[in-house]
Structure 1
């Protein structure tokens, strides 16, 4: 049939994933703004952390994760922060994502308790900016990340979409 695409013709359209770095981010206690009508707005200061993988370095203090917490719907996450590589390059990160789990585990996460990562869907799309030309690949690529929320931080595994 004219105009149809069979599976063989779309094989080259399947993206690959390349693991490029891990972020182990430490956070402070949340600042709870309150229920804004669409959920509980929370601001969680990013205080420290490490970067490892294709790049190595440390997360700089001063960033934050702006969360819209919901028990019955996905929690929206928007984290804005920076890290510095061991070579001295600074990288700005803006990471948007969602976290989905059942209402009881959602409340436990909100309250800083541990929840089995297998019970939580935590995905995000980080975007990077840097002035270092050797790191242009960060701005020239699309990335996805998987996350694990821990009582005092977040672990992210970041993948470049090929």
Structure 2
């Protein structure tokens, strides 16, 4: 390869997004841990839900969303849970993200009141683990999700980054 073949000037392609899953996650009342100096720690038990898209299934009543709620900065979200596909396979999900909005909108979210989804930045990066070879695609890509808070849970649209 000569000096003119060093790929300078080659544009890196923008990633494509492929919509692959919808997760409707049902939650219970938050367990308030309290202020930690980093924000208000809350644990929100996950009680069930549904999965649709490239695979369908049921979210198991096992897991929680571990939040650090902040009014003046973004709220940190770390949800850990599992779902069972319609075919009986189990998938572990660990989903890290942030949710941000005006302080008033955040207070409404914290108190479980409805808000306009357009007023909230809510995105995450879910990672999946499974032993099912038919679902191996879940373990071989990066995923991003857009979410909305609903009165009794969250709805996530999951995209594979390609």
TM-score, length-scaled by structure 1? 0.94
User: In the alignment, which residue of structure 2 is the partner of 1:129?
Assistant: 129
CA RMSD of aligned residues (A): 1.3
Structure with more helix by fraction? 1
TM-score, length-scaled by structure 2? 0.94
Are residue 88 (structure 1) and residue 88 (structure 2) matched?
yes
Are residue 139 (structure 1) and residue 139 (structure 2) matched?
yes
Structure 2 spans left out of the alignment, 5+ residues: none
CA deviations on 1:50-94 (whole Å, 9 max, x unpaired) are 000001001000110000000000000000000000000100000
Equivalent positions of 1:1-162 (< 5 A) are 5-6=8-9, 9-10=10-11, 13-162=13-162
Deviating beyond 3 angstroms after TM superposition, the runs of 4 or more aligned structure 1 residues are 2-6
Q: Using the alignment, how far apart are the partners of 1:29 and 1:151 within structure 2? A: 11
